[in-house]
Amino acid sequence: MTSGWPPDWADRISGASCEMCRSERKDEDQYGIRIHATEHTDAVLQRAAIQPGYTLVIWRGRHVVEPFELTDAEASAYWRDVLTVARALNDFYQPLKMNYETLGNTVPHLHTHLLPRYVEDPAPGRPFPLLPQNGSEAITDSNRLAEDAAALRTLLSWPNTPLPAGTLSSHTVRVFRVSFLHQGRPLRGRLPAVSWPGQRDAGHAASGRSGRPRPGQTGRQAAPRRMRSPR
């Protein structure tokens, strides 16, 4: 039986031909615009128009394939950075759901795809149909991408520490900051006609507020169970 894995797979695994190890960590490259950088990671908002806010968080340092190869301190730093960026994307784009895909089946160097999921989504209720990029994908408008990247950089530059009791909640402050960043542009996830599978009461959809079902409401809980395993 022939293998479908690339013929240079051994070199990719060893890092000998790893394009992510060769990265010069620029603020912009052919893939996207860097919105966050730490000692251990770069987060790059992707040019490919696959999903608004689609971002890769890439481990920087020695060649690492699997997250379990990291030391405890490195793993903590890596996932902290992933979650920091995911929180900013969530605040800015207001999706229905955030997906975290740590795959590496094409480029086996540790990285995580952050994929916001929206009302208008190619596979509602299912894993995102993410395919390896081959350069033929549609590209996000460059001005829009630059605007989003600038706003996300600003958002990520602000401290996000809990506030003392009795003051405005940190959530309220984040909502205010994000509203400021959007400057009146509609939030992508906040579309009025939200309808979850099996949902009888579209009350929260008619409210015109967030597309997320409120705690205790029907919604994802009421959706028919899917037996297909997520990838």
Residue found by looking up tokens 């920091």 in the block: 84
Q: Under the criterion CB under 5 A, does residue 21 sit at the interface with Zn ion?
A: yes
Min dist. Cβ of residue 72 to Zn ion (A): 21
Q: How far apart are CA 21 and CA 12, in angstroms?
A: 10
Nearest residue (CB) to Zn ion, 11 versus 120:
11
67 binds Zn ion (CB under 5 A): no
Figure out which of the listed residues 13, 61, 63, 210 binds Zn ion, where binding follows CB under 5 A. Answer: 63
- Applying the rule CB under 5 A, the residues between 90 and 109 that interact with Zn ion are 109
Provide, rounded to whole angstroms, the least separation between the CB of residue 115 and Zn ion: 22
**E strand map for 6-146:** 32-37, 41-46, 55-59, 97-101, 111-117
| 119 lines the binding site for Zn ion (CB under 5 A) | no
In the sheet that holds 32-37, the strands lie side by side as: 32-37, 41-46, 55-59, 111-117, 97-101
Residue showing the smallest CB distance to Zn ion in the complex: 18
- Give the integer Cα–Cα distance in Å for 55 and 113: 6
Nearest-approach distance from CB 25 to Zn ion, in angstroms: 13
Rounded to whole angstroms, the Cα distance separating 42 from 89 reads 15
Where does this chain bind Zn ion (CB under 5 A)?
15, 18, 20-21, 63, 109
